């Protein structure tokens, strides 16, 4: 069963998940689509969710190929010189959410503000990180199949980067 089948299995929740994902990753935000996809990719990587990691990495790269290279570097090397101080601070915040180390939140939020992150960017980072902890468990918990063809991620990523996450369930 793939992700579409998971969403179609129970349309009432599938529609909500689809619309919520679209709002988080494609809707209005001071963070670019590629940056939001990078946060989703980063959290999925930390959670070991192969499908979500590969899928959102492909969307991130399709959303902005130039920015995607820098963002991919951030996933593996948060402290890289290529990663802006603001993005480093937001990724550290995302990691706290993913690891449930909430005792350090106040400090990391202060660090994010000091690095130039707005309240809305911090909000969006925390919400995306939290949502992807749930999404990763949903996908892995119900055993979503990985595409057999690795090229499927690139074509699906390009499609989602243009069309968003709204499915036929959202109509």
The residue behind tokens 């963070």 is: 31
Whether the predicted pLDDT of 46 surpasses 90: yes
CA distance 133 to 49: 9
Average pLDDT, the chain: 87
CA-to-CA dists, residue 108 to 73, 93, 139, angstroms: 21, 6, 29
Residue 29 token pair: 């935000």
Stretch 142-151: mean pLDDT, rounded?
80
**Exposure pattern of 94-128 as b/e (b: 16+ CB <10 Å)?**
bbbbbeeeeeeeeebbebbeebebeeebbebbbbb
Residue 80 token pair: 């890289």
Residue pair 88/115 in contact (Cβ under 8 Å)? The answer is yes
Domains of the chain: 3-170 (1.20.1290.10)
> What are the tens digits of pLDDT across the range 98-130?
999 888 889 999 999 999 999 999 999 999 999
> What are the tens digits of pLDDT across the range 123-135?
999 999 999 999 9
Res 169: pLDDT: 53
Quickly state the pLDDT bin for 1 (edges 50, 70, 90). Answer: low
Residue pair 105/92 in contact (Cβ under 8 Å)? The answer is no
Quickly state the pLDDT bin for 97 (edges 50, 70, 90). Answer: very high
CA distance 123 to 66: 25
């Amino acid at each position: 069963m793939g992700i579409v089948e998971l969403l179609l299995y129970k349309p009432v929740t599938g529609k909500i998940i689809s619309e919520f994902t679209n709002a988080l990753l494609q809707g209005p935000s001071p963070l670019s689509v590629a940056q939001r996809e990078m946060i989703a990719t980063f959290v999925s990587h930390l959670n070991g969710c192969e499908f979500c990691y590969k899928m959102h990495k492909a969307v991130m790269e399709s959303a902005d190929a130039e920015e995607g290279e820098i963002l991919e570097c951030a996933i593996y090397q948060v402290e890289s010189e290529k990663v802006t101080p603001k993005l480093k601070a937001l990724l550290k915040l995302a990691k706290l959410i993913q690891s449930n180390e909430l005792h350090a939140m106040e400090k990391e939020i202060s660090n994010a503000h000091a690095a130039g992150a707005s309240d809305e960017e911090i909000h969006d980072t925390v919400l995306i990180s939290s949502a992807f902890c749930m999404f990763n468990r949903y996908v892995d918990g119900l055993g979503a199949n990985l595409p057999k063809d690795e090229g499927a991620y690139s074509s699906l990523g390009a499609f989602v980067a243009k069309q968003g996450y709204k499915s036929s369930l959202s109509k």
